Structure 1
């Protein structure tokens, strides 16, 4: 489906979504940056939404990578990356055989499951931190690769494995940056081959580069000013609304 992207109505949704993703990556980790794709999928075809966001997420990854250079845990990274390869391929195969409503439904379901997962953690219904071996890490990597491909939402799968590895805060953040930089780079080849990137999405990405950088800078500043619970509270409300709306649109 052809969609005119360089319009004021599209920019009214895209610019805030990109700034939000930058704030998430710059100040609050990358776990909820995928909410931008969910929001954009309300007004754009799913392929356009994820294709538009990936180059900008890669830019945010590169912007963060230098600050954590060689501070990551390579052993943990390697386990997740090994699993992410087949997970990404499975995601690509699913994408190639699914219609837009199936993809829209899955993006919405991932959004709602993410909110439920975070709520269960807050209520101590799910307790992370137990040691998970390499086999479990590879499985986490497979889930990471799949969910990252279809909706840029691989954060929870990575956390399930990483939180039990006794990593320092800096090592955890650096490992997250490295893993998602590599996964996004790998995904980009599939996106290009499958036509998910288009001339129009890449042109709009060029327009949005300043907003991506500004959002990341705002996130760094907000990290020291805005209570984390406020940011995530707003995010979870937005994800619940957008996830439910996407699933409704897909079904009805």
Structure 2
């Protein structure tokens, strides 16, 4: 019942709920918030059961809006990334992963916001399958390490400029499958302790309410504004990850 834990956990769960409700990319802010009051590994373990509950709400809301091609390309390779993350969990630096994801997020977000918005009209572009497989591995790996699979997923999907609900539904179904597969590796790593599960259970009601709130809000924002919001969030997430991981990575 540490007040400091809930001071970080409550906004983190609300952020996750809004992300699962449709604000794609916002959820990557959750782990840095939780890491202010506990280890990143424990924070990820506490949030995983909450993510599964939020995934169920999101899938129910967007079950008819998804893109089969992207799921067919990204999901199998994401499972490979999860396995690699499990194998290397004891050796890979959380700071190194977070810093790399932050840099990628900033570069991609700024490119979409500044460079491509100068064009007379945005055109849809579907990257090749090999690149999609690489992004899937990256999404699965970073999701396993720190629930930070959003940027690799978005790097492949966002240039396609899918309809808003299709983008949201594809993201929700993708990460619902990824999170479900992650249960076994986290269990094998001994992260589902009684303490962690109790902490998760206390936050589940808030998780459900915030996810429904995200569903309600995202359907009332125009498509163009929604894409702009996602790109801005990617930049902010990248800055937050670099700020959080930089001192640990470089010994500052």
TM range (shorter): 0.7 to 0.9
Report the CA distance between 1:37 and its aligned residue: 0.7
Report the CA distance between 1:34 and its aligned residue: 1.8
1: CA distance, partners of 2:33 / 2:111:
23
1:191 aligns with 2:186: yes
2: CA distance, partners of 1:207 / 1:162:
34
Answer whether contact 2:54 2:207 (CA < 8 A) is retained.
yes
2: CA distance, partners of 1:128 / 1:186:
34
**Aligned residue in 2 for 1:178:** 173
Of 23, 28, 46, the match for 2:40: 46
Report the CA distance between 1:209 and its aligned residue: 0.6
Extract unaligned runs of 5+ from structure 1: 1-5
Answer whether contact 1:107 1:246 (CA < 8 A) is retained.
yes
Answer whether contact 2:85 2:144 (CA < 8 A) is retained.
yes
Report the CA distance between 1:125 and its aligned residue: 6.3
Report the CA distance between 1:120 and its aligned residue: 2.4
Tell me: CA distance 1:66–1:218, structure 2 relative to 1, closer, same or farther (3 Å).
closer
1:140 aligns with 2:135: yes
Extract unaligned runs of 5+ from structure 2: none
2: CA distance, partners of 1:199 / 1:116:
40
Of 48, 72, 78, the match for 2:72: 78
**Aligned residue in 2 for 1:26:** 21
Tell me: CA distance 1:163–1:106, structure 2 relative to 1, closer, same or farther (3 Å).
closer
2: CA distance, partners of 1:83 / 1:105:
22
TM-score, structure 1 as length reference: 0.83
Of 146, 151, 154, the match for 1:151: 146
Answer whether contact 2:124 2:159 (CA < 8 A) is retained.
yes
